[in-house]
Structure 1
Amino acid sequence: MNWVEIKALNKLYHTGEVKLNQTLAKSPVFKNHCNALEIKRERKSFSRKDVFIEVYEKRYLKDFEKYESFLDEEGLLKPQLRFNKKDIELLIQFKEGIADGSLLKLKRDLEEAQESVRGFSLMFFKNDKYLDGKTLLIDAINSIFGIILVDNKSQQYLYILQCHKPKLIILCENVNFLNRDKIPRENGYELWYAGGRNIPKLEYTYNIRREMSIYYSADWDKDGLEIYQLAKDKIPDLQLLHPDGIPRSIKRTDHKSHWKHPDKPELISGLKEEYYSLKDLKLIKELIINNQWITEEGNSLKTMIKNITQKD
């Protein structure tokens, strides 16, 4: 249920009628109340019956007053507001946590890590892309925490995050890690970003690699590993970093990259077996069996590099 529905229910409670619009016409909440004979859908409006007054006061009134007060205090009561109920409740928790000090360490960690919009989205919402395009919600988060989450818009060029004494190169599938310079620069990691599948340019990078080892940081899903293979075709000595992040449900996160042949994990989704270690292949099969994936941003660059260099 979003703010449009929440506000409309309150208006229906106070005035007895609310105009029909596209949101309310598709609203399962309004449909349920119609089915329960508590409200009635007219040609251009909804009207309430007397029984709805008691239902509203029991189910909704207290929450509405709480939400409206919070949104008003934060300057968010705007015509374009479409926050859903869970968004509002989470923002209230953030504000209360900052006020009572329980989230001050998180605030410092977000600042220290130069956290991105997608990184924050991965922490608190159902997937890393949930906040994409939700400018008003991002602004509210920034305002409550007193921070600025790093934008995650990508450009189709080869970006390089340089450091004073580079020890190795990490080619990243996504731009997230390049937006946070502290850890790479402190550890001598030079980060490259080519722009997802836009990797043909990599065949021209031989002269700028300076004979350093080069590694690949990927989303561990079908698309991410296919991109890794395309990149390795351009850079044969490219080494895949094994993830340390937590696998996430593809279904529950509404992820768009789905494994091929889910009933035959031994086919490893049509990937090229020779591109992977036995450890990699074991993980890929487990992800396919469990219908899971591992997002690149959920990994630690330091841990992945430590594990692969110790192995070497």
Structure 2
Amino acid sequence: MKHIEWKYQVGLHQLYTEGKTKLKILNNDYINLILFKQKKLIRFKSGNHSIIEANQRYPEFYKLELLDTYNYYNTFFEQSGIENNAKKTFTQDDLEALMFVYYNKKELREKLTTVKKFSARVFRNENSKYLENKPSLKNAVLQLLEVDEFPEKDPKNQQWRCVIDCDNPKVIALCENLDCLKVPVEYKKNNIELWYVGGNNTKPLLDIQKDKLQLPIYYFCDWDYAGLNIYSKVKEIFNKKDKEIEIIQPLVNAKRLPVGVKHHKSKWKKEDFSGLTKDNYSQDQIDLINQLISKNEWIEEESMDLIELILIK
């Protein structure tokens, strides 16, 4: 997924429909480095660098690579009532989170938690005060949820499951984090249905009926102690339902990070195999986990390509 903010996507769509744009789309690295310099699909208008034009190869590229994503964003604006303004200060992550809130508002509203916990869960790359410090974003979230304010205290029951449906699902990916669910276009195109139950909050899985467990199910998570420990809990739940679930294993060249990297809280335990259950893993997976433990490293979910890893199964 290319990270192209909405204001730049508007310009790319203008190039597709009108053949030119005055928006400063070259401020985006992907557009500047790939579309402009490498692929040469767009160029400055001769004698006027305030206008960017598309060449004859651009429409076909845009239709194949970017149009579905534009339509996804645009449909969100049209249906949600959020002002479609390319000058909005929403970041790419903000916009993806707003779309996730909109498409899952029923589940989120029924078990609404405090603004800080909501912020920490939905805006995962930010701290718990993120929404409080961005009033326009907070107001947009409240508008989408159709509520006046967040509750001052957490409700006792925060059990919910968010599902991104697709027309003809072939597999289910149960995600530890929300990121995949925020931009599900490519997953739908590849017949992957996405589930999220709130990280460590695995109890909603107990109530899933067997008729919803006919498809292969994969678990997608950070390869650190917290992610693998949650996987053990999830696997135990599905074992009781006589359903196999398989963890998505990183490629051998997957990027590894130090456990002590900023904002990462999960640490390996001093027990053998960090206290994890070896029976839940293949020998290759056991070897990888032991390597991570010995080097005090972890592999982040966001650094893995879920679609690629499912398709090679």
TM-score (norm 2): 0.52
Runs of 4+ deviating beyond 6 Å: 107-114, 136-140
- Tell me what 1:249 maps to: 258
| Contact in 1 for aligned 2:96/2:182 (Cα 8 Å) | no
Matched, 1:182 2:179: no
| Contact in 2 for aligned 1:118/1:131 (Cα 8 Å) | no
Identical amino acids, percent of aligned pairs:
29
- Tell me what 1:167 maps to: 170
SS at match of 2:194: strand
Matched, 1:202 2:205: yes
User: What is the rounded CA distance, in whole Å, between the counterparts of 2:94 and 2:268 in structure 1?
Assistant: 26
- Tell me what 1:101 maps to: 26
Deviations 1:215-242 (A, max 9, x none): 1001111111110000001112011110
Root mean square deviation, CA, Å: 3.7
User: What is the rounded CA distance, in whole Å, between the counterparts of 1:180 and 1:306 in structure 2?
Assistant: 18
Residue 208 of structure 1 and its aligned partner are, at CA, apart by: 4.0
User: What is the rounded CA distance, in whole Å, between the counterparts of 1:254 and 1:139 in structure 2?
Assistant: 24
Residue 101 of structure 1 and its aligned partner are, at CA, apart by: 2.0
Deviations 1:122-155 (A, max 9, x none): xxxxxx6346534599899x9xxxxxxxx9xxx7
- Tell me what 2:225 maps to: 222
Give the alignment partner of residue 275 of structure 2, picking from 270, 274, 295.
270
Change (3 A) 1:100 1:256: same
Q: Which has the higher helix share?
A: 1
**1:3-42 mapped onto 2 (5 Å cutoff):** none
User: Structure 2 stretches of 5 or more lacking a match?
Assistant: 1-22, 36-64, 74-91, 98-123, 138-143, 145-157
User: What is the rounded CA distance, in whole Å, between the counterparts of 1:254 and 1:278 in structure 2?
Assistant: 30
| Contact in 1 for aligned 2:200/2:230 (Cα 8 Å) | yes
- Tell me what 1:281 maps to: 286
Change (3 A) 1:136 1:288: same
Residue 106 of structure 1 and its aligned partner are, at CA, apart by: 5.7
Residue 252 of structure 1 and its aligned partner are, at CA, apart by: 2.6
User: What is the rounded CA distance, in whole Å, between the counterparts of 1:200 and 1:218 in structure 2?
Assistant: 17
Matched, 1:129 2:134: no
Say how many residue pairs are matched. 189
Deviations 1:60-89 (A, max 9, x none): xxxxxxxxxxxxxxxxxxxxxxxxxxxxxx
- Tell me what 2:247 maps to: 240
User: What is the rounded CA distance, in whole Å, between the counterparts of 2:255 and 2:159 in structure 1?
Assistant: 29
Task: Determine which structure has more spread, i.e. the larger CA radius of gyration.
Answer: 1
User: Structure 1 stretches of 5 or more lacking a match?
Assistant: 1-97, 121-127, 143-150
Change (3 A) 1:104 1:208: farther
User: What is the rounded CA distance, in whole Å, between the counterparts of 1:134 and 1:187 in structure 2?
Assistant: 33
